Amino acid sequence: MWTTVRRRSSTFLSAAAVLGLVSMHATPARAQACCAATGVVTPARLGIDDQALVGGQARVGAIVGSYDHRGNYVGAASGTTEVDAEQDAFAAARFLPRAQLSMLVPFVQTYRSTGTGSEAGGGLGDLNAGVRYDFTWVGARRYVPGIAALGGLTIPSGRPPEAASNPLATDATGSGFVQVTAGLALEESFGPWLFDVTGIVAFRPARSARGVEDAPGPQVALLGAVTYTLENGAGIAVVASYTLEGDVSIDGRTAPDTARRVALLTLAGLYPLPRRLRLQGSVFGNPPAQKLGKNSPVGLGAVLGLVRPWS
């Protein structure tokens, strides 16, 4: 339920800008399955009867290629390696009957190697906060879907790329930008199936780095998710997102061919454990199809997390 867009210079882990994607059903089994649909991007999501939760997750991924400015896919150069890891601690609390607030603290690490050497680095990433307000609940009205407003804020607490001291910049852990996000989520259920569509816009004000003013273009993220709930409360979900970002502005001038396009596919699952714990995991990646991406890395990864809610 937060924004997770942190433009680290070469990691696909910040591909989607998503806060609070999937609404919770009134029944415990459905509520848990909805969490599965958020596997990678938003595990801190309260159910209708939940008042708070805490959790943590770990993710790891490897870069296998990239898209150039024309949208052509190119595999990683021979002898080069990049592995990105992240550990997140998060919490969420309800402050109004229909409103909830979440916080996420990330710790990131990067390993890179080239033909001339290798190095690793990491540290605190960019802090994230998110808010969600549900105007209507899923299933509350026969012909009205669940509708929720989303908002988020990213604080540049990580080390920006220009402040990195390692030769391969593996100690860069943040983007350096403040980011403000707003979105709308629509959700509807049919028996054990839950369908979700979310649209999000993100803005990052210009900042100065080494005497150059840099302003990323506006960003739009579209996401769709389909979740199936099992009788025991477990769930499985398929999530697809596509992020579009405008050209970068440098010192007030638009830099051509700097726009970005990022597609991300996720297969997520959830399994309920004793003491109200829930185990969440997912695998995700950027499809390496020609013209599908632009100015973005391509990689594969996995996430494993544990969440404890309270009613």
| Concatenated DSSP letters of 80-124 | -EEEEEEEEEEEEEEEETTEEEEEEEEEEEEEEEETTEEEEEEEE
Rg (CA), the chain: 19
Structure tokens at 201: 């816009």
Tokens, residue 10:
């070469």
Instruction: Report which of 57, 58, 59 is spatially closest to residue 11, judged by C-alpha positions.
Output: 59
Domain architecture of the chain: domains with CATH: 12-310 (2.40.160.40)
pTM greater than the 0.75 cutoff: yes
Q: Kindly give the confidence (pLDDT) of every residue in the chain, 311 residues in length, as a single tens digit, with 9 standing for 90 and above.
A: 333 333 443 333 333 333 333 322 323 333 333 433 333 335 678 888 889 999 999 999 999 999 999 999 999 888 899 999 999 999 999 999 999 999 999 999 999 999 888 999 999 999 999 999 999 988 778 789 999 999 999 999 999 999 999 999 999 999 999 999 999 999 998 888 889 999 999 999 999 888 889 889 999 999 999 988 888 888 888 999 999 999 999 988 999 999 999 999 999 888 899 988 999 989 999 998 888 999 999 999 999 999 999 98
Structure tokens given for 91? 């919490």
